[in-house]
Structure 1
Amino acid sequence: MLELYTDRLRLRTVIASDWDDFLYTNSCEILNQYVRIPQSESVIRQKFERVLTPNNLKEDQQLSLVIEAVHSKSFIGFLSLHNVSQTLGQLEVGYMLHDNAQGKGYATEALQGLIDWACIALMPHKFIAHCADLNIASTKVLEKCHFLQEGLLRHNWKVGDEWLDERFYGLLVAERV
């Protein structure tokens, strides 16, 4: 089981007892407004089972972590790291926080902790991230972690019937602050 710590947070491997938090996070319309129309519980359960399957983060594999408060052990959200390309050394990051944990700096702190660990453990060349252009909170998290916006992909993501513009971000490990 992987465990990482920051000043206020514990980042740990997802376990079976995280199902209720996973279901809520993946089915809440507000949390998913820039991601997807919430799917059925059976589809979410299949995703959860894949998240529980251990992997060594080889190409096209993903590591999912629970974000929780160190002292209270209360659930804050999820963080992911996807090995997009072993050859190019690219890792894609993602995060989703419970609605009552937003606006407190947790996403920034968790993402920075994950980046710090990945730089040592996986030695990537670059981190990448995508977020909806309208998702200002997420863009602020990425920019606080020193990601640079490298492009705006017009009508690149669809949620329901609505096309969204998507910001593409990158962080070169060699340029990390």
Structure 2
Amino acid sequence: MKIEAFFQPKPELETNRLLLRKIHTEDLDDIFEFSSDPLAAHHMTWEVNKTKEETFRNFVGPAGDAGGDFAIVLKENRKVIGTCAFISWSDEHGQAEIGFILNRSFWGKGYATESVERLIQWGFGVIGLMRIEGRCDLSNMLSEKVMKKSGMTYEGTLRKNAWIKGEFRDSKVYSILKEEYVKSM
């Protein structure tokens, strides 16, 4: 099955506390909150959003509709606290790379891990992926922690592979295979 088929229309995925769903125009203010935060965006390949128009272009508008980003929504109050996605994939090789960002006000509460685990479950269970990987900047200990908690294994470091905020940076690579995920169930 081709992964692109699952993005249009984008499914809604649930966890105990979260809903992962398509990004809506009404989410603009919530998304601008974290995409304009220099600390939250520090490790991202994209620049801090300076205007809501920029956030609309990057997350909400046509780019948002065409992309694989899910809004991470708190069920209790319907606030969008982040996004997660398969940011790249290969149908031929049955693999995808996962990415995520969370509003700094919600760090340390397990929401990122909960989102990533649900996306992994969907990737293996519905899409039929064989491998899911994640990458993070060497200094991004919080993302590294999320990947470890989500059952991913450290594979190594890619040297100077990512252009981030005006410089080439190293990335740590984590992955989980379908057979490892099934064993952990």
**TM-score, L = length of structure 2:** 0.83
Question: In the aligned structure 2, how far is the partner of 1:68 from the partner of 1:82?
Answer: 19
**Counterpart residue number, 1:127:** 132
Query: Following TM superposition, by how much is the alpha carbon of 1:19 offset from its aligned partner in structure 2, in angstroms?
Result: 1.6
**Matching of residue 46 in structure 1 with residue 46 in structure 2:** no
1:51 touches 1:63 (CA, 8 Å); kept in 2? no
Superposition map of 1:1-177 within 5 A: 2-35=11-44, 36-39=46-49, 41=51, 42-48=53-59, 49-54=61-66, 62-176=67-181, 177=184
- How much has 1:6 moved relative to structure 2? 0.8
Moved over 4 A (4+): none
Unpaired runs of at least 5, structure 2:
1-9
Hey, what's the Cα distance between the residues in 1 that align with 2:146 and 2:157?
17
Which is helix-richer, 1 or 2? 2
* Rounded Cα–Cα distance in structure 2 between residues aligned with 1:32 and 1:114: 21
Q: Deviations over 1:116-143 (max 9, x none)?
A: 1222220001101111010001001001
Compute the displacement of 1:26 (Å): 2.3
Unaligned runs of 5+ in 1: 55-61
Distance in 2 of aligned mates of 1:120 and 1:53 = 23
Matched residue of 1:25: which SS? helix
Query: What do residues 26-78 of structure 1 show as CA deviations (whole Å, max 9, x unaligned)?
Result: 22211111114325545443223234325xxxxxxx41111121122222211
2:79 and 2:54 map into 1 onto residues whose CA distance is 26
Distance 1:50 1:72, change over 3 A: same
For 2:165 and 2:119, the matched residues in 1 are separated by: 31
TM-score, structure 1 normalization: 0.86
CA distance in 1, matches of 2:48, 2:134: 21
Contact map agreement 2:27 2:80 (CA 8 A) in 1: no
Quick one: distance in 1 between partners of 2:150 and 2:97?
Answer: 14
Looking at structure 2, the residues matched to 19 and 2 of structure 1 have their Cα atoms a distance apart, in angstroms, of 20
**Over aligned residue pairs, what C-alpha RMSD do you find?**
1.9
The AA in structure 1 aligned to 2:40 is L
One-letter amino acid of the structure 2 residue matched with residue 31 of structure 1: A
Percent of paired sites with the same residue: 28
Q: For residues 55 and 77 of structure 2, what CA distance do their matches in structure 1 show? A: 27
Once structures 1 and 2 are overlaid, which stretch shifts more, 4-13 or 18-27? 18-27
User: How many residues are paired up?
Assistant: 170
**Structure with the higher strand share, 1 or 2:** 1
| 1:11 alignment partner AA | L
